[in-house]
Amino acid sequence: MTAELGATYNLTDLISYKDLQIGNPESNVGICTLWTQRHLIAQKLDTADYFICANLYSFAGINLMARNIFMFPQIRYLILCGADQSSTGEALASFFAKGLGANHTIPGTQAKLDEGIPLEAWEELRQQVQLIDLRPAKGYPKNPEAIAEQIKLELAKLATLPPFAEPRTFPELAPEGGKALPSERTGFRVQGETVAETWLEVMQLVMRFGQIKPTEYSQQQREIYNTVAVITDENPDDIVWADYLPFSRAELENYYPKILSAEKEPGIAYTYGERLRSFGEEGHDQIARMKERLREAHHTRRAVAVTWDVEQDSVGDNPPCLLEVSAGVQDGALYMTARFRSHDIYTAWAQNTYALRKLQKEIADDTGLRLGALTIISHSAHIYADKWKFALDTIDSFKKRRLDWRSDPRGYFIIELERERSLIKVQHSTIEGNTPYYFEGKTARQLCLLIAHEKLASLEEHYSYLGRELQKAEIALKLGLNYTQDKELEFN
């Protein structure tokens, strides 16, 4: 199972070198363990029998894997095994079975591969590298030790083959989206009724204001700090589905247990659900304890569950992105906040949020509370370079343009003129009546600044409305015209 090595690249040229387990560079064999921890399988194998052993978490990883194979074309066999948590294994198997469509997409999947690699090169890889599919979906084992034993059986059958081509690389495509616009750098906020529409808003923020920076995964990202996304009305039992979401309903259903259940696949380092419901050696069920706290006292600030294991995650290579889930009660409704240290906005945000909304409803139902808003805080909100074009296309094609009026939860404003003193008067009100906030002035500019300083509106369109309405009032005052709020001015 070895081949003549005529490569012009060093091993350190391998993409994501530190995330690969290197065995014998003269071997024909690459091993892809999907989400199962690669070291659990590799440690049971003879390093002489494989070149590379690596995980494959996302569609982007297929592109990196392919570029490595083109650099080291002595890889002629690719063993696919382990837990397929994100359908990347299914996509890779579909590529080897069907090839690519004209737009570099894998038929039957939502995976689009690297357009910097020509279609003929992708087809050459598909024809010259043999996929050996040992996934559980094909009836093969899930346990890492059993997977290793199956791999040994397959290795014994393989003939030694020469490299299928000369080593080569392909140019990286220019980044999509241009330079980042100036921004406040941190503390971005969006709000929507549903997960799907809110996802579009967060994605637009990242693509518009995200700084282009390197990552630990050999590709660039656009990143903004500390986004706060609020979802107000999504019914997790009857979600508002959108065809532009980058996953199918079946994939979402398969994802739910990763947060809602303590069970995990053999060989997987952890799931969020396991950390939340069976944390540590003693198996603490933090969600059950949250429910107990909320039943004991609705005013509690201690309904909190965490995923971070200080001993493991401070030094480990695969720390959780979701750090904390907390809940509190306002006016008889359960509000929940989830905090992420790192958040892949294009690929993971929407699935994470749908599942967390289900968890929120479970806690609300079990504590006899109504369902309030869900808040997602993302310390690093980012989109990887291979998804920039997808993100921009999705935003341009499907973004909902709000032409309808939304009621501002912070109230509304009553605008009138007082001719005797030549003043514009503005009273802030809520459904409960007038508040202490009253403003008067002679110009729209003066009043806009006063109201904005008090932060009495929460929606961008509300501030825009105030600007238009106050400018109308100023014109009416100066020209002696009649002014009625929300009515057009009548010029004689």
- Is 349 part of any domain? yes
Q: How far apart are CA 330 and CA 460, in angstroms?
A: 25
- Check whether residue 285 and residue 335 sit in a common domain: yes
Angle at 226 between CA 220 and CA 230, to 5 degrees: 115
pLDDT in tens, 362-389: 999 999 999 999 999 999 999 998 889 8
**Domain final residue, candidates 371, 398, 425:** 398
**The token pair that represents 243 in the structure block:** 């065809």
Q: How far apart are CA 391 and CA 205, in angstroms?
A: 11
**The token pair that represents 420 in the structure block:** 């005797």
The pTM of the full predicted model, rounded to 2 decimals, is 0.81
- Check whether residue 128 and residue 211 sit in a common domain: no
CATH code of 128's domain = 3.40.50
Give me the amino acid identity at 244: Y
- Is 475 part of any domain? yes
- Check whether residue 204 and residue 123 sit in a common domain: no
**Domain final residue, candidates 137, 155, 173:** 155
How do beta strands 322-330 and 333-344 pair? antiparallel
**Domain final residue, candidates 398, 422, 445:** 398
- Is 403 part of any domain? no
CB 193 within 8 A of CB 231: yes
CATH code of 247's domain = 3.30.572.10
CB 202 within 8 A of CB 243: no
C-alpha pair distances (Å), 50 with each of 22, 160, 413: 8, 12, 70
Phi, psi of 154 (to 5 degrees): -70, -40
Helix (H, G, I), strand (E, B) or coil at 417: strand
- Check whether residue 107 and residue 214 sit in a common domain: no
Q: How far apart are CA 119 and CA 103, in angstroms?
A: 9
Q: How far apart are CA 210 and CA 223, in angstroms?
A: 4
Sheet strand arrangement including 433-441: 412-418, 423-430, 433-441
How do beta strands 370-384 and 333-344 pair? parallel
- Is 150 part of any domain? yes
| CB contact set of 415 (below 8 Å; sequence gap of 6+) | 424, 425, 426, 469, 470, 473, 483, 485
Find the farthest-apart pair of alpha carbons in the chain and give their distance in angstroms, rounded: 98
- Is 165 part of any domain? no
Q: What pLDDT, on a 0 to 100 scale, did the predictor assign at position 239?
A: 97
| CB contact set of 442 (below 8 Å; sequence gap of 6+) | 422, 423, 424, 474, 477
Q: How far apart are CA 14 and CA 66, in angstroms?
A: 11
- Check whether residue 306 and residue 439 sit in a common domain: no
Instruction: Please name which of 160, 374, 351, 145 lies closest in space to residue 256, comparing C-alpha atoms.
Output: 351
Q: What pLDDT, on a 0 to 100 scale, did the predictor assign at position 405?
A: 72
Number of domains into which the chain is organized: 3
Helix (H, G, I), strand (E, B) or coil at 9: coil
Q: What pLDDT, on a 0 to 100 scale, did the predictor assign at position 4?
A: 43
- Is 177 part of any domain? no
CB 384 within 8 A of CB 349: no
Q: How far apart are CA 263 and CA 270, in angstroms?
A: 9
Residue span of the structural domain in which 417 resides: 412-479
Q: If you write DSSP's letter for every residue of 214-235 in order, what string do you get?
A: --TTSS-EEEEEEEEEEE-S--
Q: What pLDDT, on a 0 to 100 scale, did the predictor assign at position 268?
A: 85
- Is 317 part of any domain? yes
- Check whether residue 120 and residue 23 sit in a common domain: yes
- Check whether residue 192 and residue 85 sit in a common domain: no
- Check whether residue 283 and residue 225 sit in a common domain: yes
Give me the amino acid identity at 34: L
**The token pair that represents 317 in the structure block:** 């290579």
Q: Which residues of the chain register pLDDT less than 50?
A: 1-7
Q: What distance, in Å, lies between the first and last C-alpha atoms of the chain?
A: 92
- Check whether residue 238 and residue 371 sit in a common domain: yes
- Check whether residue 424 and residue 344 sit in a common domain: no
- Is 406 part of any domain? no
- Check whether residue 197 and residue 151 sit in a common domain: no
CB 170 within 8 A of CB 358: no
- Check whether residue 419 and residue 393 sit in a common domain: no
Rg, the chain, Cα only: 28
